[in-house]
Amino acid sequence: MHRLSFILLLTTIVLPAWKQARAQDDKEVMIPFYSESLRITYNPSLLLPAKPAINDRALTQYFHALSKTEYSPLLRSLSQAKKLFQLNDWLYYQLMRKVLDELYAGRSQVEKELACWFLLSQAGYDTRLAYLGEEAFVYVYSQDAVFEAPVIEDKGRQFVNLTNIRTGGGKQRALYLLNFQPSAQGHAFSFQLNELPLLRPREVPVTLRFLFRGQWNELEVKADQTIRQYMAEYPLIDEAQYLDVPLSPTLAASLLPQLRRFVKDKSEWEIAELLAAFTRSSFAYKEDKEYFGYSKPMVAEEVFLYPFSDCEDRSALYVQLCREFIGLPMIVLAYPDHLTVAIALPQTKSGFVRYKNKAYYICDPTGPVNSAVVGEIPEGYENTPFEIIKEYN
């Protein structure tokens, strides 16, 4: 009902006569967007007939020419989709790219980049344009740490190269920076994914078996394949940000009630053991470089959607489960080659790290496999320095 009422509201807006005449020229295009198919409105005047020369003057003139077109129907349509599906900035940008790929099919890549730069600027982001030869590159101001993406700094602000964010490998090239700032006071572009978008779920069944206190337990759950699809295109961001991405409603509804039966009447220490047993023995282990060929941190849901996962991925899942079932302060420890979790459990045992006058007991979500032991520093890391990258109160 939420989407339907939103769409009906849009159709009841009465336009002035002069705007109705322009609206008659508007067209619609259907855009596949992960599990959705979106109807996007645009005005063909946005599609300027000629590609500009690649130099400061011509590119600036091209931006001004775009600003005289009827670009607002497309920008409004994108903004409505962003609000309706609760897209963060990165997914909003992904939708914009998919729309431009369709509208500019058969046109040059430069024209797509310039249209993207223009629309992001009009949407309020602080952007820059760089160029070299016959290529143009869209940069956007961001306060987030983004890895394997070319960045530049201008007037104390970090700008991330969106054009090459998935293909550039972080390689910096000597580019010409256009001496024109469309929205110098524009806001930052965020890569954070604190809430999942409201995209239609694609449920997939998953069977899990985990060992706890000598007994194998089996769970049948459903996970959302749509999350795997859009996370496969996500840039590499700070590893602490993956920890905060919640489970989908699909997975939460099927997994949490079953785990709740297991943790009933158990102490916090016993719950920490059971959840550690679950994350250690339910999933096969393989490091990213071995399985993917590159670094691929996962959000918690993805652990259920791939055949293998590693310590970063298990930590994301363990954090979500402990927040649900334990609710005590937690810290996430980053060793040079290992990520693990510690909880401020009410115990007086060894195997803890002291942080802000609290004893945090290490509950490694990764190993030993088929073990439920917590409160021990991971084997081989007893004297290894670590960094606390996340704190939960």
- Exposure of 220 by Cβ count < 10 A (0-12 exposed, 13-18 middle, 19+ buried)? exposed
Could you tell me the pLDDT band of residue 385, with boundaries at 50, 70 and 90? very high
Question: What is the pLDDT at residue 392?
Answer: 97
Record the tokens describing residue 31, joined without a space.
Answer: 């855009």
Alpha helices in the chain (DSSP H): 2-11, 17-23, 56-67, 72-84, 89-103, 109-122, 225-231, 239-242, 249-263, 268-281, 288-291, 311-325
Mean residue pLDDT across the chain: 92
Question: Are 222 and 172 contacting, i.e. CB atoms less than 8 angstroms apart?
Answer: no
Question: What is the pLDDT at residue 3?
Answer: 43
Question: What is the pLDDT at residue 253?
Answer: 98
Question: What is the pLDDT at residue 21?
Answer: 47
The answer to whether residue 124 scores a pLDDT higher than 90 is yes
Rounded to 5°, angle at Cα 106 from 101 and 108: 80
Could you tell me the pLDDT band of residue 23, with boundaries at 50, 70 and 90? low
> What is the arithmetic mean of pLDDT over 303-321?
98
Distances (CA, A) of 19 to 11, 14, 23, 24, 198: 15, 10, 6, 9, 32
Q: How distant is the alpha carbon of residue 323 from its chain centre?
A: 20
> What is the arithmetic mean of pLDDT over 82-111?
98
Could you tell me the pLDDT band of residue 166, with boundaries at 50, 70 and 90? confident
The answer to whether residue 332 scores a pLDDT higher than 80 is yes
Predicted confidence (pLDDT) per residue in 253-269, tens digit: 999 999 999 999 999 99
What is the number of other CB atoms lying within 10 angstroms of the CB of residue 375?
20
Question: Are 334 and 349 contacting, i.e. CB atoms less than 8 angstroms apart?
Answer: no
The answer to whether residue 10 scores a pLDDT higher than 80 is no
Which structural domains are found in the chain, ordered by start? Answer: 2-128 (no CATH), 203-392 (3.10.620)
Question: What is the pLDDT at residue 345?
Answer: 96
Could you tell me the pLDDT band of residue 305, with boundaries at 50, 70 and 90? very high
The answer to whether residue 169 scores a pLDDT higher than 80 is no
